[in-house]
Amino acid sequence: MSQAFRELLKKVGSGPHTSEDLTRAESAAATRMMLLQEATPAQIGAFMIAHRIKRPTGEELAGMLDAYEELGPRLQPIESAYPVTVMCIPYDGRSRTAPTSPLTALVLAAAGVPVVQHGGDRMPTKEGVPLIDLWQGLGVRWEQLTLEQVHQVLQTVQLGFVYLPTHFPLAQGLVTYREELGKRPPFATLELMWSPYAGDAHLVCGFVHPPTEKMFQDAFAMRGTERFTTVKGLEGSCDLPRDRTAIIGDKKPHSEFERLHLVPRESGFAAKELPLTPTPDLISQIISVLQGDPSDFQQATLWNSGFYLWQCGVCPNLETGFSTAADLLSQGIVAQKLKQVTEMVDATGAAVSR
């Protein structure tokens, strides 16, 4: 048993009247001891559920991010005309609505914006469709690459994926607690704001509840993170809704945090959300969009991709973002980007096995 961890557990687990928030340094220490399994399973489980009940603070999340930065994978900086966009979504995936994130990432990469995504396999508590399943369905086997090879792919074709079981086994070691506890621990919030990229990055953080966004702001302010976008997206993802106003926060260097409200009907994109279908059907729909076939899935892709092309600085306004996304798709440039990514990942992965 870790006596040091026990003292931190006592602070967060003393109940609604006597529990205390951790300092940034204490939170980093607790996270470090959990990742390294220096705390016992009983201590880790107790801490996770107590921390969830208490609710994490921005300062505590800043400390957790400090520990992830110290012990986790870090893709090294690449040369690029745009900051690397890190798209952060819930690791337990999607269970109700169809994700467009892989298509958005491909459109951005086709326009010269490097994109990093991260996540693992199907994960408690939702056990929804994770991004890695979609990439595998499209023929991209990120899980076979080392971190250095992911960096090489990112540098060459502007796309990368940090896969938890392969690239961050310490964090993967905590996944089992989610199933045993039956609740998301504060690590699920941490994952929405973690960047595994060491260079100049633009973080895009999905969220559901407004207090979560405020915790993002507080933690990022403490850590000096100057460029991020928050999205009240579908199931907490970075995907913009189409059946309601999209609520977005925007923070750029040397500027104040700004609020954006995007109304889909004003741009001709209002519609019911795409329902989640079995993964093979979902892959077929994604491929259909890449082939230029008109569909509701294509409209959802244009709505998201156009916004991000504008948000990442490729296009001067939202309307130009929509038209640019449409051109990249109709001209086959996005499909060609997927082909480049697939070939690069296959060639790089094959080099490992030899």
300 and 268, same structural domain? Answer: yes
Is there a contact between 304 and 105 (Cβ–Cβ < 8 Å)?
no
Domain boundary among 71, 101, 125: 71
351 falls within a domain? no
DSSP assignment of 231-276: E--GGGSSPPPSSSPEEEEEE-TTS--EEEEE-GGGGT---PPPBP
300 shares a domain with 233 = yes
Q: Report how far apart the first and last C-alpha atoms of the chain are (Å, whole number).
A: 43
Radius of gyration of the chain (CA): 20
Q: Domain check: are 47 and 185 in the same one?
A: no
pLDDT tens sequence across 16-58 = 889 999 999 999 999 999 999 999 999 999 999 999 999 999 9
9-23, 83-97, 210-224: which range is least confident on average?
Answer: 9-23
| Stretch (H or E) spanning 219 | helix 210-223
Model confidence at 354, pLDDT cuts 50, 70, 90, reads very low
d(CA 133, CA 150): 17
- The span from the CA of 322 to the CA of 308, in Å, is 9
Q: 26 and 154 in one domain?
A: no
In a domain, 112, yes or no: yes
pLDDT for res 349? 84
Whether 345 is covered by a domain: the verdict is no
Provide CB contacts within 8 A for 272, sequence distance 6+. 242, 243
Residue 340 lies inside a defined structural domain of this protein: no
* 217 plus 260 within the same structural domain: yes
Range of the domain at 177: 84-335
Contacts (Cβ under 8 Å, ≥6 apart) of 16: none
18 plus 129 within the same structural domain:
no
Clarify whether residues 110 and 17 are in a common domain: no
Q: 21 and 66 share a domain?
A: yes
**Amino acid at residue number 214:** K
Write down the pLDDT at residue 15: 86
The CATH number for 46's domain is 1.20.970.10
Total domains in the chain come to: 2
Please choose, from the candidates 324, 255, 269, 256, the residue with its C-alpha nearest in 3D space to the C-alpha of residue 113: 324
Mean pLDDT across 211-229:
97
- Give the contacts of 182 (CB within 8 A, at least 6 positions apart): 124, 125
pLDDT for the residue 277: 97
Answer yes or no: is 123 within a domain.
Answer: yes
What's the Cα-to-Cα distance from 220 to each of 2, 225, 257, rounded to whole Å? 30, 5, 11
Is the domain of 90 the same as that of 63? no
Q: Which residues contact 260 (CB under 8 A, 6 or more apart)?
A: 246, 247, 248, 249, 250
Query: What is the number of alpha carbons within 13 Å of residue 322 lying toward its C-beta?
Result: 11
Dump pLDDT digits (tens) for 187-213.
999 999 999 999 999 999 999 999 999
User: In this structure, are 150 and 268 located in the same domain?
Assistant: yes
Written as one letter, the residue type at 113 is: V
At 141-174, the pLDDT tens digits run: 999 999 999 999 999 999 999 999 999 999 999 9
Report whether 251 contacts 227 (CB < 8 A): yes
Say which DSSP state 312 is in: T
Same domain, 177 and 221: yes
Q: How far is CA 1 from CA 6, 20, 22, 118, 181, in A?
A: 8, 22, 20, 32, 20
Instruction: Please report, for the domain that includes residue 203, its CATH number.
Output: 3.40.1030.10
Query: Which one, of 61, 44, 49, lies nearest residue 1 by Cα?
Result: 44
Residue 184 maps to a domain: yes
Residue 249 has pLDDT above 70, yes or no: yes
- Residue 79 maps to a domain: no
Regarding whether 43 and 176 lie in a shared domain, the answer is no
Give the rounded distance of the alpha carbon of 49 from its chain centre: 23
Summarised one tens digit per residue, pLDDT across range 121-134 is 999 999 999 999 99
Residue (of 76, 168, 152) closest to 118 by Cα position: 168
Report how far residue 270's alpha carbon sits from residue 303's, in angstroms, rounded to the nearest whole number: 9
Q: If pLDDT is split at 50, 70 and 90, which confidence band does 351 have?
A: low
Report how far residue 210's alpha carbon sits from residue 191's, in angstroms, rounded to the nearest whole number. 17
> Residue 91 burial (CB < 10 Å; 0-12/13-18/19+)?
buried
